[in-house]
Structure 1
Amino acid sequence: MSSVLVIGDSEFEAEVLNATQPVLVYFWAEWCGPCRLMAPVIETIAKEYGDRLKVVKMEVDPNPESVKKFKVEGVPAFRLIQDGEMKQSAEGAMNKQKIEELLNKGLVTA
C-alpha cells in the first residue's frame, strides 16, 4: 500500500491547506519521464517522514487550480506547505538527499 495520498483540486483545501501537519505536495505528469524516476523516492520519503509529514501526489494536467495557485512551471515539482503557507519550493528531478535537505529546511519550524 502506498503512503502517498493521490489528490485533485477538489481535495486540495481539506488535505493540504487545512492539514494539521506539514504537507509535501509532489506535482507530476503522466508524460514526464523524470516524474516516473521520482516515484520510488517520494514513496520512501513518505514512509520515512510519515510521523511528521503528509505526502500527497497531484497530477498537473487535470488540476489547473492548484498548479496555478502554487506557481508550478515544470514537473516534477515539490511544495512544502504548512498552516496553508508554502515554506519550501523546488522543481526538477532530485535525489533523495536533495529532497531531505528541502524538507529539513522547511520542517525546522514544525
Structure 2
Amino acid sequence: MAVQTFTDGNFQDEVLAADTPVLVDFWAPWCGPCKMIGPTIEELAGEYEGKVRVGKLNTDENPQVASSHNISSIPTVMLFKDGQVVDRVVGVADKSKFAAMLDSHS
C-alpha cells in the first residue's frame, strides 16, 4: 500500500473515523528531518499493509489539522486508534521505534 495523503478535508473520514489504526506523519517540504524519515514511513506502509493505514499530512498546506493536534515541531508522527492519539514520536527516530509503536497498538 502506498502512503496516503491526509488533508484538512479528509482527516476526519480517513483518520479519525478509520476502523484500523492510522499512522500520520506531520511534515513540510522544507523540513530536512522530515525528509530523513520519509523512506522509513514508506517502508512501514508496505510492511503493515492490511493492519495499519499510513499517511502524511503537509502542515503548511493543512494548518487546521496541525493546529487542532498541537503540532509545534515537525516531524511529528502520531498513531491514531478509534479516533484518539495513542502514541506519538517527535523528531527523527529509527524504524524500530516506529515499528514498536505500531506493534503495541495494532
TM-score, normalisation: structure 1: 0.90
Where in structure 2 are the equivalents of 1:6-85 lying within 5 Å? 6-85=5-84
Shift of 1:4: 0.4
Structure 1 unaligned residues grouped into runs of 5+: none
- Report the secondary structure of 1:9's partner residue: coil
Matched AA of 1:8 = T
Shift of 1:104: 2.2
Q: Alignment length, in residue pairs? A: 106
Shift of 1:3: 1.2
Shift of 1:11: 0.5
Supply the RMSD in Å over aligned alpha carbons: 1.2
Structure 2 unaligned residues grouped into runs of 5+: none
User: 1 CA distance for matches of 2:35 and 2:74?
Assistant: 11
TM-score, normalisation: structure 2: 0.94
- 1:89 maps to what in 2? 88
Identity of counterpart residues, as a percentage?
Answer: 36
Matched AA of 1:44 = E
User: 1 CA distance for matches of 2:46 and 2:25?
Assistant: 15
User: 2 CA distance for matches of 1:16 and 1:102?
Assistant: 17
The superposition leaves residues 10-68 of structure 1 with CA deviations (integer Å, 9 ceiling, x where unpaired) of 00001001111100011001110111111110000000011210001000111111111
Matched AA of 1:3 = A
User: 1 CA distance for matches of 2:68 and 2:21?
Assistant: 18
User: 2 CA distance for matches of 1:24 and 1:94?
Assistant: 14
User: 1 CA distance for matches of 2:46 and 2:10?
Assistant: 22
